[in-house]
Amino acid sequence: MVQMTKRIITLGEVMMRLSTPGHERFIQTHDYEVQYGGAEANVAASLAYWDQSVAHVCAFPNHDIGKAGIRYLRSAGIDTSFVFLREGRMGLYFFENGSMHRSSKIIYDRFYSAFSLFDGAEVDWASVFDGADWFHWTGITPAISAATAKLCLSAVQAARQYDVKISGDINYRRNLWQYGKSPLDVMPELIRHTDVIIAGLTDLENCLGIQETDYVQACVEAQRQYPTIQYISTTQRESLGSSHNILSGVLWNGRELVSSRSFDMPSIVDRVGGGDAFMAGLIYGLLYKDDAEALNYAVAASVLKHSIPGDANFVTVEEVEHLVKGENVGKLLR
Amino acid sequence: MVQMTKRIITLGEVMMRLSTPGHERFIQTHDYEVQYGGAEANVAASLAYWDQSVAHVCAFPNHDIGKAGIRYLRSAGIDTSFVFLREGRMGLYFFENGSMHRSSKIIYDRFYSAFSLFDGAEVDWASVFDGADWFHWTGITPAISAATAKLCLSAVQAARQYDVKISGDINYRRNLWQYGKSPLDVMPELIRHTDVIIAGLTDLENCLGIQETDYVQACVEAQRQYPTIQYISTTQRESLGSSHNILSGVLWNGRELVSSRSFDMPSIVDRVGGGDAFMAGLIYGLLYKDDAEALNYAVAASVLKHSIPGDANFVTVEEVEHLVKGENVGKLLR
Amino acid sequence: MVQMTKRIITLGEVMMRLSTPGHERFIQTHDYEVQYGGAEANVAASLAYWDQSVAHVCAFPNHDIGKAGIRYLRSAGIDTSFVFLREGRMGLYFFENGSMHRSSKIIYDRFYSAFSLFDGAEVDWASVFDGADWFHWTGITPAISAATAKLCLSAVQAARQYDVKISGDINYRRNLWQYGKSPLDVMPELIRHTDVIIAGLTDLENCLGIQETDYVQACVEAQRQYPTIQYISTTQRESLGSSHNILSGVLWNGRELVSSRSFDMPSIVDRVGGGDAFMAGLIYGLLYKDDAEALNYAVAASVLKHSIPGDANFVTVEEVEHLVKGENVGKLLR
Amino acid sequence: MVQMTKRIITLGEVMMRLSTPGHERFIQTHDYEVQYGGAEANVAASLAYWDQSVAHVCAFPNHDIGKAGIRYLRSAGIDTSFVFLREGRMGLYFFENGSMHRSSKIIYDRFYSAFSLFDGAEVDWASVFDGADWFHWTGITPAISAATAKLCLSAVQAARQYDVKISGDINYRRNLWQYGKSPLDVMPELIRHTDVIIAGLTDLENCLGIQETDYVQACVEAQRQYPTIQYISTTQRESLGSSHNILSGVLWNGRELVSSRSFDMPSIVDRVGGGDAFMAGLIYGLLYKDDAEALNYAVAASVLKHSIPGDANFVTVEEVEHLVKGENVGKLLR
Amino acid sequence: MVQMTKRIITLGEVMMRLSTPGHERFIQTHDYEVQYGGAEANVAASLAYWDQSVAHVCAFPNHDIGKAGIRYLRSAGIDTSFVFLREGRMGLYFFENGSMHRSSKIIYDRFYSAFSLFDGAEVDWASVFDGADWFHWTGITPAISAATAKLCLSAVQAARQYDVKISGDINYRRNLWQYGKSPLDVMPELIRHTDVIIAGLTDLENCLGIQETDYVQACVEAQRQYPTIQYISTTQRESLGSSHNILSGVLWNGRELVSSRSFDMPSIVDRVGGGDAFMAGLIYGLLYKDDAEALNYAVAASVLKHSIPGDANFVTVEEVEHLVKGENVGKLLR
Amino acid sequence: MVQMTKRIITLGEVMMRLSTPGHERFIQTHDYEVQYGGAEANVAASLAYWDQSVAHVCAFPNHDIGKAGIRYLRSAGIDTSFVFLREGRMGLYFFENGSMHRSSKIIYDRFYSAFSLFDGAEVDWASVFDGADWFHWTGITPAISAATAKLCLSAVQAARQYDVKISGDINYRRNLWQYGKSPLDVMPELIRHTDVIIAGLTDLENCLGIQETDYVQACVEAQRQYPTIQYISTTQRESLGSSHNILSGVLWNGRELVSSRSFDMPSIVDRVGGGDAFMAGLIYGLLYKDDAEALNYAVAASVLKHSIPGDANFVTVEEVEHLVKGENVGKLLR
């Protein structure tokens, strides 16, 4: 089969996700369902499911549970040639799924994980980026530890050096950044090499110091300060409750702010990974479509993610495109 | 207890249904829940649950999984005297339950099933229809294979011969009809003996060649060409998403088009078998009620089916009648 | 840690709850999930979860399943010093969770339970109420049997004697009261000692003989006849379907009828225990807050209960207060 | 198909069985698996699985859980024409599966069950025994209540009147017999009509007052006092632990004591119903085989039961006969 | 009820245990079953199940998963007045259950747990030991961190000061002791205050420096060096495979080496906590029985533990005593 | 890391395996557990788990369930570059796990599978065997259909052409070979290119026409007729019951018959794939070890497989080697 295929590299921690069944709370559960996820690996999983050639760079502990993480990546069709087995723990996160007025809740348990100790010194970046078309990182990696901040910077610099297109999801999380650096110490240097960023106004303020209240103004200013940036995008989520959100997205392409259609999601199954599904959709879209199509593809991919349990977005390109066109939506397909 | 009871015969394939748990997709599941179903057996299960005397005619493979199919029919209170154990596979269907914009999906796996090879040559139709009040078939049976088309025609002719009232759910499915015949080759002869049909405009066009765009006109024309037809009915389903449909029904009785109330179904549990629940309700209604009551009973039965996992509609006559009257709807009954 | 803590005593039957998984009906289930509950123990569980010192008075059968009931109470942090192991059965209730137009359903199986045979003759009430601030009972206990009616009256009289504040949830259930007494024979004497009651118009009529059609008038009349009453409160529930209710509450404090905000609950997970969550919230509110705050706290607690499987309301004071203030509602909390 | 088929009637309570998963104890379980069973219905299920025509006589409560009991009987291919829906509870039993030195444990919860209140006054015995070849009862029924003792006697007398062969499993249980009668008050009259009994020395002593220490002597004496008896049989079980038993059986045919081979069962899955599987095997054997074959068939059927979860013995005649002959034992059959 | 009850204090980390279902390996599991355990809390759970008054001292993280740990302790009837909510992680351990030649496997994940950071500075030992009869610690606590070594020493010294009998399970684990101290730096001071120790030859060598090859000689020497020691005991386990062990125990009482009967365990359900069940049995035995009875009770308790899933030993005193006497072993108890 | 790694190619059908939980029979199950397997893919999975570079050649249907098969292969670390999506069904097999005297049972459902229709015409064998060290096939592939017989022959011929070492597991199954050819028509040509075969006396007779009764004689004769053969090996399994087997193996190397140690397996978890685990062990052994070591490694690998649910053998090289040496067998590893 002749297929359009790009080579995409992603970098970031993969955690074992332990979810309570149904809508049980942590306090009452007797079982945890095992899944795996991480912002960047979720992007990788989407792109591999869409038949792209994807390799993920990360580290796991050298025991059976770490190896189960590798097994997950492989099952998703992700190249694990650049996954390392190292000292440290398996990063975990515990998830309980809210409903209506009760929020969903994540307890992270990633302290001292193998990934957090991984500075990438032994990574052969030339080999990683050989033949690569795109590199994707997020603001979580530099927020975890000094080691992973170093890892992220090495990767971004190498990708730039090998002329690989770079996307970064700024993804500012206040609870991280515990190792003595602030986002403003670290993020600007990373963004300085990046072509496509996902950032809302808060992200732009906290990580790049851009203090605009209008999104277009903020985008203009970000591009002025960081001239490599070609695209800035973000999703807009209105939460009417844990199980009911409204989702849309915007994409600044340097000339205009493209807006997507807005989707009502009244019976959300699992919203974790919704942003990563958008990111994957945007990368796919920017590789193969025009700007408006790319944005609509990204939002539709994200919307479909909300109907699927787990972090990963198991929807095909055809399914996303059907939703973009409004075809077969919610029918029983035989 | 003195109970009103009719003898009803149904004919059709019973498949093992393998459903992913919750809203999992095929690609991610580690377990399949086992249920059984088939359009006609679903009708049989409803009618038996409503204390009618029901026998189902079909064939299963002669091994433990085929026998588990018989066990299911028996559990539903269906007379299995006319179930045959034969060569061939167990027909299967795989089901994943969508949510919101993501469609529910069925993968049929019924090729070379014991039923598909079953032409009914050895069926003693006199014995089958002894004491019977009603016979029900659907357009799926003649669509499966030449053998089952022959089976269906034998049954319809025998029912007619023994003066049994006949209903047929036309149920046109494009993916079937792979054995060299088109619906127009086969269906007219079957309808020619049938008293009550379920058919929408597309069904009437594809299976009877009636090319009207107005439903009443189409009904009039159908009755003109097929004078045994006394009733034509169909449900109307608006899909706002996999988990949110609006349902109503109409019934043409030769004089007027009776319309039911419309029901909003915002949190569908399982829509498979919804049409069969309607069919069962209509048969029950036409046996015991007037036309408008029959239609309302049928629609209410179908609506309740959407709240129950599996193909079968485990609701009592009382529960259906409560919904028709709007009593106790959604209360906590202690 | 310095914590505000009150000593609260509750009295009532604790049943083992056997729930079908998901939305399965009784007729089709192959598994029952085990939980425990009872109107008063549900109140106890909420208050203990909010770090109050709570003891529950009841009886279980003297075998492993009865002891599993004790284990549940202990897990909830409830003092079981006044739980007795006695002759009789374990009270059970079977629960199936409806959806949309299909009602949820409870089948009680509490006949001849250890609790129903328990008249409390050997209870040392002085010890029970030593240091207690509040005592809570419901109209279920006097409705079960002559023995438990006697038990309830002894408890109420003792609580009054030791100057403990008393609340009673009238909770009139027609299916109970099978032992030869009517509510009007028994309830008035109990209410005569009670400070806070939960009662709707039907409860007031059936249990106190107050025949007013206006709630405020009924409250005024109830206070006239039963001068110990300081507060009368009730929830108002509009059922749009099993999975969609609208909830609010009112509180009569002798001067005015305070009304809460109304909450839309479109995706109910489990409504059992919703009233008990309100009751617990009201007790907590009346102990620590002003009247309007108490009512709002009670309603918000009840709303959150509807998102949690099982009888018990596993939400923290902070979560309830966030909902009262409209903060973090339905967000993903990391 | 021409099949050898006899008509067999069984009588007795069917309980819902609630089993903890795996080897969990009652105190720790969060789920109960639902099965159904009862000594006589287990016999019925075996015989129906062996393609005999079997009807079971009993009563269930008139609600969905009682109806689920009927559904179970039907799934087993048992004729439920003589099952009644009546006042009273569903009889339950809770089961935890031991291992090694830890005993398996049953907690019965059958007090005030619909069956216990059922004296059979409205049963049309002529219709029940029309065409019947065999009737089977056990000593549990007369032990439950005065009503069921009356029921059992009516059935035995009617069977005798209609010349039906009768078997009775004496099955003495000390914990029953709580209604004021002792076995010696009731059992002799029942045995006086019975042709085949299952009884060990203790059963013979407690229920018939036969005080012999040698089994053959006891059999001779039993036949002397109860001349209708043609066969007396019993299993012999050596318990090396919960999961390891050794099983054999003996059959007294009035002339000699036939002994079966002894089977080592080192990894028992579920021993409940083992005796009933033997009883069913013996009935089948006595209907179709000679004495020694009958006993061997009965023991082999019982041995296979120990490998199957639940009360019912889902093994075919062929599987039992293979074990009798020592063929295919423990192989992987493809 | 008048019951013999002693007050027992235990100290140690409680971990959440995540077990794969059945015999699945870590690499293949999709679910983890949640239990809780820790060597000392397992002892506490046994003793509380035997109606002793038990309080456990430990620390959990201050979030819902830590609180679920408290909930577990409470469910077991353990007094949690001395449980602290602190900074740090929840200690975890992952468990896969082997079979035959495949070993069972534990992966500990307790680094930086709340307990490991807990030096007990704020514990009010006077209050902890008020009314206490016994204090139990193990060699795991001083092996975790300098903080917990300090905690353990404080506890032992305080117990000694308040004249509480002290037991210590030496439980030498090579993989712990990572914080810069060796057992010989720390254990002697702890043993110097201890009355009853569990220790095999390796434990005595590694933790006390006693280099004898004969157990009795080693015991004599241990008592010579540590004159507070009154009893030294250990289990002897022969592993014929993961699911088949032979267990016995010995007890040195200063005069003679008492030996228990040996138990064959051919179908082990879960061997984790087997040693702790022995320890609990020994404490119970030494409190209420003579030396030989105490040892037999301890071994029988441990044997029964091997039949129960999870860390805790849910067997009653009566069940243990039945096994000691060889009564009812492996029977079906109704 | 420098690792010894060989390139190994395997060819054969991968089926979805649907297993009943625990020891449930097909007739009673409500759930099927999903795994994947096939004789050759099981070999591939072992070798990939042992860090070899393995590619599997097969075909799946072009839908989500077929893709789930690919996902499984990828999760196992198997290169899926030569997996094709084609017309046809997903091959299935249903599995019930016996116990003691009750046999385990497989119902195959592979008729008209995508693999059975796959003749490999479009496979680029040069690319498949590029850099390959070993090719493995079994006698199942030529037994399925004329198409797959052609596929197998093409593969064997190509492997020979590219000088790849070839192993074949003769694996004669009477129920296959339904397409008009007998094994003797097809197998000799395949064996003519093969270096290592797994064959017992029956296999040698049925597939190669060698009619010797002594295994060594048969091996000598096979080598005489098929001079490429270097090794002939087989396992010897004594079945004491479904859960209790004794296993050993022999290896003929052209000079002598090497025998392995015999292993007692009294508590088998899952014996499916036991032979494939042996085959994988033998390939690994012959690549890296001497003959006796290879055989012992193969048998030990197979023994460990019997402790693991599913077709695949999730044991490490270290675990196998520990069993060969008798180290750590059945211990609790922390």
Contacts of A300 in chain B (CB under 8 A): 101
Tens-digit pLDDT profile for residues A103-124: 999 999 999 999 999 999 999 9
Kindly identify which residue of chain E lies nearest to residue D270, measuring between CA atoms: E332
pLDDT band at A272 (very low <50, low <70, confident <90, very high): very high
Q: What percent of chain B has pLDDT over 90?
A: 97
Interface of C with E in 35-94 (CB under 8 A): 70-72, 74-77
pLDDT averaged over chain C? 97
Yes or no, beta carbons of E75 and C77 under 8 Å apart: no
Chain A residue with Cα closest to F73: A75
User: How many beta-carbon pairs under 8 angstroms link B with C?
Assistant: 86
Domain ranges for chain F, please list them: 230-327
Q: Please tell me the CATH code under which domain B7-322 is placed.
A: 3.40.1190.20
F77·A77 Cβ contact <8 A:
no
Asked if the C-beta of D127 comes within 8 angstroms of chain E's C-beta atoms, the answer is no
Residue F247 has pLDDT above 70, yes or no: yes
Task: Quote the CA–CA distance of C279 and C276 in Å, as a whole number.
Answer: 5
pLDDT in tens, chain E (334 residues): 445 699 999 999 999 999 999 999 999 999 999 999 999 999 999 999 999 999 999 999 999 999 999 999 999 999 999 999 999 999 999 999 999 999 999 999 999 999 999 999 999 999 999 999 999 999 999 999 999 999 999 999 999 999 999 999 999 998 999 999 999 999 999 999 999 999 999 999 999 999 999 999 999 999 999 999 999 999 999 999 999 999 999 999 999 999 999 999 999 999 999 999 999 999 999 999 999 999 999 999 999 999 999 999 999 999 999 999 998 888 899 9
pLDDT digits (tens, 9 = 90+) for F103-152: 999 999 999 999 999 999 999 999 999 999 999 999 999 999 999 999 99
pLDDT tens digits, A50-90: 999 999 999 999 999 999 999 999 999 999 999 999 999 99
SS3 E122: coil
| Phi (first) and psi of residue E42, to 5 degrees | -65, -40
Distance from CA of D32 to the nearest CA of E (A): 16
Distance in angstroms (rounded) separating the CA atoms of residues A220 and E291: 84
How close, in Å, is residue F114 to chain A by CA atoms? Answer: 18
pLDDT of residue A2: 43
d(Cα F212, Cα A81) in Å, to the nearest integer?
50
Beta strand spans in chain C (E): 7-11, 15-19, 31-37, 53-61, 83-86, 92-96, 104-109, 134-138, 165-169, 196-198, 231-241, 244-252, 257-259, 263-265, 332-333
**CB-based contact E34 A29, cutoff 8 Å:** yes
Touching partners of A (3+ C-beta pairs < 8 Å): B, C, E, F
How many Cβ atoms are within 10 Å of B252's Cβ, its own excluded? 24
Q: How far apart are the first and last CA of chain F?
A: 26
- Distance, in Å, from the CA atom of E264 to the CA atom of F153, rounded to the nearest integer, reads 54
Q: Compute the distance between CA of residue C22 and CA of residue B271 in angstroms, rounded to an integer.
A: 15
pLDDT surpasses 50 at A1? no
Closest CA to A41 of A67, A5, A6, A16: A16
Chain F contact for D314, CB < 8 A? yes
- What percent of chain F is modeled with pLDDT above 70? 99
SS3 B52: coil
Smallest Cβ–Cβ distance between F330 and the set E22, E100, E175 belongs to E100
Q: Can you say how many angstroms the Cα of residue D15 is from the centroid of all Cα atoms in its chain? A: 13
- Banded model confidence at residue F1, pLDDT cuts 50, 70, 90: very low
B4 vs A209, more confident: A209
The pLDDT assigned to A329 comes to: 86
- Residue pair B37/B14 in contact (Cβ under 8 Å)? The answer is yes
Contact list, B304 vs chain C (CB under 8 Å): 101-102
Could you tell me where the DSSP H helices lie in E125-214? 125-128, 140-144, 146-161, 183-191, 201-208
A84 three-class SS: strand
Per-residue pLDDT at B330: 84
Report the alpha-carbon distance of residue A217 to residue A211 in Å, rounded.
10
Per 3-state DSSP, what percentage of chain A is helix, strand, and coil (rounded to 5)? Answer: 35, 25, 40
Say whether B308 and C102 touch across the interface (CB within 8 A). yes
Of D18, D63, D105, the CB nearest to C107: D63
The DSSP bridge partners found for residue D32 are C32
Tell me what the mean pLDDT of segment C307-330 comes to: 95
Q: Which two tokens stand for residue C24?
A: 């399965």
pLDDT in tens, B186-240: 999 999 999 999 999 999 999 999 999 999 999 999 999 999 999 999 999 999 9
For chain C, the distance separating the N- and C-terminal CA atoms, rounded to the nearest angstrom, is 26
Q: Within chain D, which residues score under 50 in pLDDT?
A: 1-2
For B328, name the nearest residue in chain C, comparing CA atoms only: C103
Cβ-proximal residues to D256 (8 Å cutoff; 6+ apart), any chain: none
Contact flag C103-B310 (C-beta cutoff 8 Å): no
Q: Give helix then strand counts, H and E, for chain A.
A: 11, 15
The candidate with the shortest Cα–Cα distance to D43, out of D274, D300, D233, is D274
pLDDT score of F81 more than 90: yes
Left if phi > 0, otherwise alpha if psi is -120 to 50, otherwise beta: which for A12?
left
Three-state DSSP state, B255: coil
Q: Name the residue among B22, B304, B310 with its Cβ closest to that of C102.
A: B304
Fold of the E7-319 domain = UDP-N-acetylmuramoyl-L-alanine:D-glutamate ligase (3.40.1190)
Q: Which residues of E touch C75 (CB under 8 A)?
A: 71-72, 74-75
pLDDT score of B2: 43
Q: Cβ contacts (< 8 Å) between B68 and chain F: which residues? A: 26-29
- Per residue in C123-153, pLDDT (tens digit) is 999 999 999 999 999 999 999 999 999 999 9
Chain A residue with Cα closest to F70: A75
Contact criterion met (CB < 8 Å) for B26 and F89: no
Q: Are E107 and E29 in contact (CB under 8 A)?
A: no
Residue B1 binned pLDDT confidence (cut-offs 50, 70, 90): very low
What is the C-alpha to C-alpha distance for residues D72 and D15, in angstroms, rounded to an integer?
11
All chains having 3 or more CB pairs closer than 8 angstroms to chain F = A, B, D, E
Select from A277, A322, A319, A323 the least CA-distant residue to A302.
Answer: A277
Q: State whether residue E106 sits within 8 Å of chain F by CB.
A: yes
- Encoded tokens for E34: 């949640």
Q: In what order do the strands lie in the sheet with C104-109?
A: B332-333, C104-109, C92-96, C15-19, C31-37, D31-37, D15-19, D92-96, D104-109, E332-333
The neighbouring-strand residues paired with C264 are C246
Nearest chain C residue to A93 by CA distance is C334
Mean pLDDT of chain A: 97
Q: How far is CA E3 from the centre of its chain?
A: 24
- Is F253 within 8 Å of F231 (Cβ atoms)? yes
pLDDT bucket at C200, cuts 50 / 70 / 90: very high
B40-79 b/e (C-beta count within 10 Å ≥ 16 → b): bbbbbbbbbbbebbbbbbbbbbebbbbbbbbbbbbbbbbb
User: Are the Cβ atoms of F98 and D307 closer than 8 angstroms?
Assistant: yes
Interface partners of D (3+ CB pairs, < 8 Å)? B, C, E, F
pLDDT at C326 exceeding the cut of 60: yes
Residues A78-111 as b/e (b if ≥16 CB within 10 A, e otherwise) read bbbebbbebebbbbbbbbbbbbbbbbbbbbebbb
CATH 3.40.1190.20 holds for C7-323? yes
Q: Could you give the CA distance from residue C81 to residue C83 in angstroms, rounded to a whole number?
A: 6
**Confidence tier at A3 by pLDDT (50, 70, 90):** low
Closest CA to C257 of C246, C247, C249, C268: C249
pLDDT at A287 exceeding the cut of 70: yes
Quote the CA–CA distance of F187 and F189 in Å, as a whole number.
Answer: 5
- CB contact under 8 Å between E102 and F268, yes or no, is no
Q: Which backbone phi and psi does A280 adopt, to 5 degrees?
A: -60, -40
Are F107 and B65 an interchain contact pair (Cβ–Cβ within 8 Å)? Answer: yes
Rounded Cα distance, A158 and A166, in Å? 11
Confidence label for C1 from pLDDT (cuts 50, 70 and 90): very low
**In Å, how far are A32, A36, B62, E19, F70 from E30, measured between CA atoms?**
9, 10, 34, 11, 18
Nearest chain D Cα distance for residue B49, angstroms: 10
| Per-residue pLDDT, E249 | 98
Rounded to the nearest angstrom, the minimum Cα separation between A289 and chain F is 26
Region of residue C293 (phi > 0: left; psi between -120 and 50: alpha; otherwise: beta): alpha
ipTM of the complex: 0.96
Q: F104: how many CB neighbours lie within 10 A of its CB?
A: 21
One-letter identity of residue B15: M
CB contacts, 8 Å: A26 with chain E: 64-65, 68
Taking a C-beta distance cutoff of 8 angstroms, is the pair B167, B279 a contact? yes
Closest by CA position to B136, among listed B41, B202, B208 = B41
- Using CA atoms, how far apart are residues D194 and D222, in angstroms rounded to an integer? 12
Binary contact (C32, D31; C-beta < 8 A): yes
Inter-chain contacts counted by CB atoms under 8 A, chains A and E = 61
Q: How far apart are the first and last CA of chain A?
A: 26
Q: In what order do the strands lie in the sheet with A15-19?
A: C332-333, A104-109, A92-96, A15-19, A31-37, E31-37, E15-19, E92-96, E104-109, F332-333
**Contact assessment for residue C80 and residue C72, using Cβ atoms and an 8 Å cutoff:** no
From the number of C-beta atoms within 10 Å of its C-beta (0-12, 13-18, 19+), residue D243 rates as buried
**Residue C2's pLDDT band (cuts 50, 70, 90):** very low
Q: Do D74 and B76 touch (CB under 8 A)?
A: yes
List, in order, residues 6 or more apart from D316 with CB less than 8 Å away.
Answer: D49, D50
Neighboring chain C residues of E76 at a CB cutoff of 8 Å: 71, 74
Contacts of D272 in chain E (CB under 8 A): 332
Nearest-neighbour CA in chain E from F269: distance (Å):
7
C interface mutation test: which of D17, D30, D32 has the most C CBs within 10 A? D32
For residue A328, what pLDDT is reported?
81
Tokens of B35: 């249920």
Q: Enumerate the residues of chain F whose CB falls inside 8 A of the CB of residue B114.
A: none
Instruction: Give mean pLDDT, residues A85-98.
Output: 97
Helix (H) or strand (E) holding E300, with range, is: helix E291-305
The total number of residues shown for chain A amounts to 334
- Report residue A330's pLDDT band, with 50, 70 and 90 as the boundaries: confident
What pLDDT is attached to residue C4? Answer: 65
